Amino acid sequence: MTHQTHSYHMVNPSPWPLTGALSAFLMTSGLIMWFHFNSLILLALSLLTNTLTMYQWWRDIVRESTFQGHHTPTVQKGLRYGMILFILSEALFFMGFFWAFYHSSLAPTPELGGSWPPTGIHPLNPLEVPLLNTSVLLASGVSITWAHHSLMEGNRKHTLQALLITIMLGLYFTLLQVSEYYEASFTISDGIYGSTFFVATGFHGLHVIIGSTFLIVCFMRQLTFHFTSNHHFGFEAAAWYWHFVDVVWLFLYISIYWWGS
Amino acid sequence: MSSLFPLIEGSARMWKTLTYFVALPGVGVSTLNVFLKHHGEEERPEFITYPHLRIRSKPFPWGDGNHTLFHNPHVNSLPIGHEDE
């Protein structure tokens, strides 16, 4: 028997899980070295090895699927489960920070002046840049849906155009948030308000950057004809992740920016 | 299971219309709103050394250890007061 008689993908041995784990260990040790011993070398090495691992691992997946045809419908179903579970884990990650925010803001302590926002904190006006950011992410949700439908209908030009608009909107959001971070009169060191604000929005911003990167990869793959009109799970995974990022922002906007102001 | 075919033929055209006539103009209006509101916001609140703000339990691992990552001298004060006064 020289061929498999099942529809699963028995992946060839790969070094990337090990290099990924090692880079994660380096990253944690690197942070300790930076925080406590003023040394950046381990951290820098960890960022390099982590990036190389991600690049090569995902490159191999593209090779196995697009070029070698290992992604049968069965395999794709498994990937769908995987992506959904991953996004679920991320949702739980954010729920922790929302828990922290509501814990502190629903019953503000006397040390804060017994109020939320705490005495001396001047929150950002939710009807200015935060509202713009909301419109930007909602718009990007519309444009990515246009991209998906164009892809399914086999319209290459429109898929590229819509994906590009989505990516530009993502970049616009990131630039606006960085500007907001500089312009805010409060900082991360301003007690529990600063901590909850910047940790929650900061992790969200990181996810926007990750999502934008994922979309850029999809853009390049679409340019090089990787996707077909009925098999493009990489694109779908990116779209799911992007919608998730949008939904987290909506919760942030309503809780921290609007209710919390 | 492969990805779903669009349930309505030509639905991409609807999303394209929504993108150009609703989503992007919405962004435009919001941008304009920010731009118009931004004129005349120069004053900053009076500085009071509240103990619950500008906390420094441990120096930051960068610079002089006393500035946050996105420190803006114009609007952010240090624990002892504004730098640029």
Domain interval for residue A22:
1-70
Q: Test B16 with A139 for CB contact under 8 angstroms.
A: no
Same domain, yes or no: A132 and A202: yes
In a shared domain, residues A217 and A90: yes
Out of B27, B54, B55, closest to residue A135 by CB: B27
Looking at the structure, do residues A63 and A174 belong to the same domain, yes or no?
no
Q: Which residues, in sequence order, are CB contacts of A102 under 8 Å at separation 6+?
A: A255
Q: What is the CATH number of the domain that holds A81?
A: 1.20.120.80
Instruction: Identify the band that residue A86 occupies on the pLDDT scale cut at 50, 70 and 90.
Output: very high
pLDDT tens digit sequence for B25-37 = 999 999 999 999 8
A76/B38 CB distance under 8 A:
no
pLDDT at res. A139 = 98
pLDDT in tens, A36-54: 999 999 999 999 999 999 9
For residue A26, give the CATH number of its domain.
1.10.287.70
Q: A164 CB near a chain B CB, below 8 Å?
A: no
Count: domains in chain A = 2
Q: Which residues in chain A have Cβ-Cβ distances shorter than 8 Å to B27?
A: 132, 135-136, 139, 169, 172
What does the mean pLDDT of chain A come to?
Answer: 97
Q: How many CB pairs under 8 A join A and B?
A: 138
Neighbour count for residue B54 (Cβ, 10 Å): 23
Last residue of a domain, one of A70, A92, A115: A70
Helix (H, G, I), strand (E, B) or coil at A114: coil
ipTM above 0.85, yes or no: yes
Q: Which residues contact A68 (CB under 8 A, 6 or more apart)?
A: none
H-state helical runs in A68-125: 73-106
User: What is the rounded end-to-end Cα distance, in angstroms, of chain B?
Assistant: 65
The radius of gyration computed from the CA coordinates of chain A, to the nearest angstrom, equals 21
Tell me how close the Cα of A239 comes to any Cα of chain B, in angstroms: 13
Same domain membership, residue A66 and residue A77: no
Where among A30, A50, A70 does a domain terminate?
Answer: A70
